[in-house]
Structure 1
Amino acid sequence: MSLINTEILPFQATAYRNGEFVELSEKDVLGKWAIFFFYPGDFTFVCPTELGDLADHYAELQALGVEVFSVSTDSHFVHKAWHDDSAEVGKVQYFMVGDSNGQLTNNFDNMRPGLGQADRATFLVDPQGVIQYVELTAEGIGRSADELLRKVKAAQYIAAHPGEVCPAKWEEGAETLTPGIDLIGKI
């Protein structure tokens, strides 16, 4: 079942961010764009490269009004230890959400059956709490923050310009399309 165009479910979680533990709920997400960046586990191999790549783009995402919530089923205590131990993860300034009870991971239908770990998946949520984008990859395939940033810009453009769509490889400032009968067969 696709989660596209569904609302996020209520949740309670503790995150590590900037040297502090922070309580979060769905109320902290509403009113802004949000990325939920799920990964299998702390102290692993592909995960720190992804979190570091996302950290390198965090300021640009913040400038677009986007908050980032990385999520694994590790506890917020483990997130702090990993943040303190890894140079790559140490760059992270966004929320590192501990989901040891699996509530958030299950809310996004992203729990690996029988393993208690999240799949490697990204969800973009609009300010109304509606999921606009989902990416799910196999264990060994790392994600690109550059591509995620492009898709965030496209989603924000479409939200601000109803009736227009962004074609393949659309970049900010490029032409969009306005679907209609006169466009059929012309592309």
Structure 2
Amino acid sequence: MSLIGKEVLPFRAKAFHNGKFIDVTEQDLKGKWSVVFFYPADFTFVCPTELEDLQNHYEELKALGVEVYAVSTDTHFTHKAWHDSSETIKKITYVMIGDPSQKISRNFEVLNEETGLADRGTFIIDPDGVIQAVEINSEGMGRDASVLVQKIKAAQYIRNHPGEVCPAKWSEGAATLKPSIDLVGKI
């Protein structure tokens, strides 16, 4: 069953953010655009490359009004230890949520029950707390944050321009479509 169009389910978790431990709930995802970015585990191999790429695009995401929440089934303590010991992870300034109970991973349907780890899932959530896009990759396949930025721009455009849709390879400023009976069979 697809999570597209569904509201984020309730959760409460501890997170590491800018040198502090904080509490995060589903309510924090409301009132702005959010990206919830699941990854399998701290102290691994593909994960730090993805998190660094996401950090490299974080200022652009913030300029779009987007907050980023990285989530793994590690604890918030493990996130701090990784942050303190890795030059790559030291750069991260977005929120890193610990999900040792696996509740958030289950809510977003990315928990690998055999390993107890989250799959690589990316969720774009609108200001109402509703999931607008989902991407789930296998364990060995890293994601590209520049593609995520393009998806967010399209999601924001659609929200702000009812009745219009963004075609394949759409980029900001490019033509959109207005679905109507006149377009049937013409594209």
Aligned partner of residue 111 in structure 2, secondary structure: coil
Q: Distance in 2 between matches of 1:86 and 1:168?
A: 38
Q: Among the aligned pairs, what percent are the same residue?
A: 60
Task: Describe how 1:30-41 pairs up with structure 2 within 5 A.
Answer: 30-41=30-41
Give the superposed CA RMSD: 0.6
1:26-53 deviation per Cα after TM superposition (whole angstroms, max 9, x unaligned) = 1111111100000000000000000000
Displacement, 1:84?
Answer: 1.3
Question: 1:122 — aligned with what?
Answer: 122
Aligned length: 187
1:95-115 deviation per Cα after TM superposition (whole angstroms, max 9, x unaligned) = 000000111111111100221
Displacement, 1:142?
Answer: 0.5
Question: 1:76 — aligned with what?
Answer: 76
Q: Distance in 2 between matches of 1:168 and 1:24?
A: 35
What TM-score do the two structures reach when normalised by structure 2?
0.98
What amino acid is aligned across from residue 12 of structure 2 in structure 1? Answer: Q
Question: 2:62 — aligned with what?
Answer: 62
Name segments (4+ residues, structure 1) moved above 2 Å: none
Structure 1 stretches lacking a partner, 5+ long: none
1:73-129 deviation per Cα after TM superposition (whole angstroms, max 9, x unaligned) = 000000011111111111110000000011111111110022110001101110101
Q: Distance in 2 between matches of 1:138 and 1:155?
A: 24
Q: Distance in 1 between matches of 2:17 and 2:137?
A: 26
What TM-score do the two structures reach when normalised by structure 1?
0.98
Question: 1:132 — aligned with what?
Answer: 132
Task: Describe how 1:27-176 pairs up with structure 2 within 5 A.
Answer: 27-176=27-176
